[in-house]
Every structure is written in C-alpha cells, then in structure tokens.
Copies of this chain bind each other. A is one copy, B any other.
Amino acid sequence: MAKDKKLVESITSMSEDFAQWYTDVVKKAELVEYSSVKGCMIIRPTGYAIWENIQKELDARFKETGVENVYMPMFIPESLLQKEKDHVEGFAPEVAWVTHGGNEKLQERLCVRPTSETLFCDFFSKIVQSHRDLPKVYNQWCSVVRWEKTTRPFLRSAEFLWQEGHTIHATAQEAIDRTEQMLNVYADFFEEVLAIPVVKGKKTDKEKFAGAEATYTIEALMHDGKALQSGTSHYFGDGFAKAFDIQFSDSNNQLQYVHETSWGVSTRMIGAIIMVHGDDSGLVLPPRIAPTQVVVIPIAQRKEGVLEKCAEVTDVLKKAGIRVKLDGSDKSPGWKFSEHEMRGVPLRVELGPKDIEANQAVIVRRDTREKIVVSLDELAVKVNEELVKMQADMLARAKAHLAENIHTATDYETFKDIVANKTGFVRTMWCGDQECELKIKEDTGATSRCMPFEQEQLSDVCPVCGKPAKAMVYWGKAY
C-alpha cells in the first residue's frame, strides 16, 4: 500500500508550512497550473467548475434583487481613468498599459481595466436623463488586471476573475441601502454555500476603496489564523457623478447628481474555501459548491458484476440530483481514495463483492473520515442526508474556529501580546485617528480589518492613545 500514499505524502503538512501546503494543494488538486505569463494563472477544470458553481449561485441571488448583467470594454482610455482624482491615484500604479494596436502607436494609452467604475460612469452619463431612468442596477462577470509584484494563485494574481456590480440611484439613502444589501448577499452566500462565517463591517478611511465614501467588507478567518478580505461593497456618494457629470431631472424638473455604489467578489473566494476547510490530505469542498459531490469507487473491480453494480449505483445517485462520478480507472482503490481526497470530493461510496452480496455500500465522509454502512435500497437518501449534514458540520466547525480566534484587548500591552502570541482577530476600541491605526500596524503588523456592524463598548478609550473611543475595531494579520 506504500504506493497509495504517494499523493498524500507529496504535499507539505499545514503545521509544517502553511504557505507551502496551500501551494501544494492548489497544484496537486489540479485547481490551477502556472502559466508562462508572469503572475497569471491557468484555472484548470476542477478549479473552474468551482467558479461556475459560485457564479451560478451568486448570479441567481443577484438577479433576485433586480440586478441586470452587462458587458463593458476591457480597456479604459487614460483620460477617462483620470477623471476621479482619488481613484486614479489608487489604481494607476498597478495597471497594465496598452500602447500599440497592430503596428501603430495609439494616440492615447489604454489601461486594461483594474475595475470599471470609470467605464460605468461614462456609460451612465450617456443613458440617464430622468428620474424614470433610475435606478440602474448593473453587474458584469469579467476578468481584471492589477500589476502585482508578488502573486499567489487565487489570493493575489495579475489577472483574476470577478464580478463587479455598479449601481446608481436617485437618493443617497437608496444607494447606501443597496451597498448594505449586497454585502448581506455576500455574507449569506459565504455562510450558506461556502460554509464560511464572516465578520461584516465598515473599513476605516485608510483601508477603504480609492474614491469611495465608505467601504463595507466581509472578513473571513483562514485556518492559520490570518484574515482574508473576501468581498467588498462601496458607497460613492455623488463623487463620481460629479466627476463624470451624471445628472438626472427629478420629479420637480430639477437637475440632481446620482448616488452610486459598486461591489465585488472574486476567484479569491476559492482561496478562502481552500484555507478554511482544507486539511493535510488536501482540499475539502463544501457539498453545495463541489463540482463532484460523490465518487463511487469499486473494490476488486475485476470481479464479475462489480463495475456493473457501481455503474448502476452511480446512475441511481445521478437521478436523485447528486453530482456523482464513477472512478472505474485501473488504479488501485487506495490510490483512488487519496486522489479524490486530495480533490476534496465530499463523499466516497465504496462498493465491492462482499457489499454487493450484503446489498450494502460504505459511505466515507471527506471531512471526518466517518464510515457509514448503508443498505443499497436507501443509498440515495442517505447520501443526500450526509451531504446536508457535512455542509452543516463544516460551517459549525468554521464558526467554532472563528469564535475561538476572536480575542479582546482593552490595553495596548495585551493587544501587542495577543498579536504576537495568538492567531486571529483582536478586538479593541479605537479613537478614529489614523495615527493610532498606523502605529498598530508598525508595532505589530496587524491592520484594521473592519469596524463590525455589531458594535460593543469594550472600554471607553483607545488603548493606543487613551483618547475617547469612537468605535470597536477588529484587527488582524491578513492576506
């Protein structure tokens, strides 16, 4: 059986080197392959199928709230990018520039979109006249480019896939409501589908999006105790509207500026799935997002009738709406076990001659390794039950991990001690001063993750400067 262990042994253990474990898993589970283009990844079938499931779920949730999909050009003329001052300052240093088309030099450089606020604003200014044209609630699924120096698959790459929603509204309140609504859509999706609990809150001014009045965020906690900013929703007020002259005549025939939002999540979510649920045998996929939910593995498959029975069982599961595959390849069962564990398939069904004789099969859960012997007559029902249970258990474990890793500090020494010796979030009060925020980062390496919506009054003063506290902040080291 030594040979069967090869695949598992080929990845580094989490405790030994978490970063290397991550890299090993994305590669060995065949989620990505490195490309010849610096900083860009190839998303392989398993990785892309996860993304397709994410898209399908999220897109349906968006559309339920009235979102319409569109597609904008991938290029932004330099003059357009420069219209909003904060925005261009934030993005210009990390964009890719197209300077030539065919053999000719372009009159004006085009950047490959790092995000599309400027294009949407330009578009909105052309199509909005009256209050009857509002709101516009648009989204696009596309790829964007940010010229990052150090990259890691899914977490930070020069090009990545995402969705970006862009909306305009007649009033500030309606825009703020939309910003919060979409953050809640993200948070619910993370919990219900990805089995990842998140902390919802507002970013400090220092951490907000370039050009935004307010940025809301969902922050998830990875297995190594580091935070991952997993989705953001921005409220722009009428700043962009003024820069791009997006006006409408209200019901009194007065010209008004629109109020704007944008919100996005990306393939980074796949990084979160890996780092929240994975273990030393590889990926563990929540059943709701797994491209293959169940793999049927024949035992002693050359024995008469085994493969046929496995095919029959696979068919029964397929008809019950389960995403199932039969692995009838000529590898050994042990090798198949470890291969499908590596790929994170939630359940495997083992079926051999003795099982067939006893009219039973063995279900093995990927997360707990629990083995359940079930009658073939009720296999589909049991498999569905186990998938539901596993999804719930994964969320419960992730919630427990998050709860255990939220620490509280009311004085700065304790704060520093926690950041140095524990993992996860540290909650403190904060005076609202950027100086204290910078000092914390300099002293400890932790950044402000967010001011959570659920505030508590931990103490009355900022532990750094002693001035009156304005808000409770979650701090942490982050990806």
Question: Is A98's CB under 8 angstroms from B97's CB?
Answer: yes
Given A36-B80, A80-B36, A122-B35, residue A98 in contact with residue B74 (CB < 8 A): no
- Categorize the interface residue count of chain A: 35 or more
Q: In whole angstroms, what is the CA distance A72 to B42 when docked? A: 5
Given A44-B70, A45-B138, A143-B142, residue A122 in contact with residue B36 (CB < 8 A): yes
A290 to chain B, nearest CB (A): 15
Chain B interface: which of A3-11, A88-96, A184-192, A280-288? Answer: A88-96
Q: Mark interface residues in A121-159 (1 if CB within 8 Å of B CB, else 0).
A: 011001100000000001000110101000000000011
Would you call A438 an interface residue if the criterion is a C-beta within 8 Å of the partner chain's C-beta atoms? Answer: no
Question: Is A99's CB under 8 angstroms from B102's CB?
Answer: no
Question: Is B96's CB under 8 angstroms from A33's CB?
Answer: no
Question: B residues within 8 A CB of A294?
Answer: none
Would you call A69 an interface residue if the criterion is a C-beta within 8 Å of the partner chain's C-beta atoms? Answer: yes
Considering the complex, which residues of chain A in the window 37-51 have a beta carbon less than 8 Å from any beta carbon of chain B? 37, 40-45, 48-49, 51
Q: In whole angstroms, what is the CA distance A159 to B71 when docked? A: 11
**By CB atoms of chain B within 10 A, which of A42, A93, A99 has the most?**
A42
Question: Is A42's CB under 8 angstroms from B68's CB?
Answer: no
Closest residue of B by beta carbon distance from A146 = B102
Q: In whole angstroms, what is the CA distance A45 to B158 when docked? A: 29
Closest residue of B by beta carbon distance from A35 = B73
Question: Is A100's CB under 8 angstroms from B93's CB?
Answer: no
**By CB atoms of chain B within 10 A, which of A69, A93, A94 has the most?**
A69
Closest residue of B by beta carbon distance from A107 = B38
Question: B residues within 8 A CB of A342?
Answer: none
Q: In whole angstroms, what is the CA distance A73 to B37 when docked? A: 7
Q: In whole angstroms, what is the CA distance A98 to B72 when docked? A: 19
Partner of A75, one of B40, B80, B101, B102: B40
Given A48-B70, A102-B94, residue A77 in contact with residue B33 (CB < 8 A): no
Q: In whole angstroms, what is the CA distance A42 to B77 when docked? A: 15
Question: Is B77's CB under 8 angstroms from A98's CB?
Answer: no
Question: Is B143's CB under 8 angstroms from A37's CB?
Answer: no
A231 to chain B, nearest CB (A): 20
The 5 A-B pairs of least Cβ separation, nearest first, read: A40-B73, A45-B68, A101-B147, A97-B100, A43-B71
A interface residue numbers (CB < 8 A to B):
33, 35-37, 40-45, 48-49, 51-52, 68-77, 80, 92-103, 110, 112, 119, 122-123, 126-127, 138, 142-143, 145, 147, 158-159, 161
- 12 sample A-B contacts, Cβ–Cβ < 8 Å, listed by A number: A33-B123, A35-B122, A36-B80, A41-B73, A42-B70, A48-B69, A51-B71, A71-B143, A74-B159, A75-B96, A92-B102, A96-B101
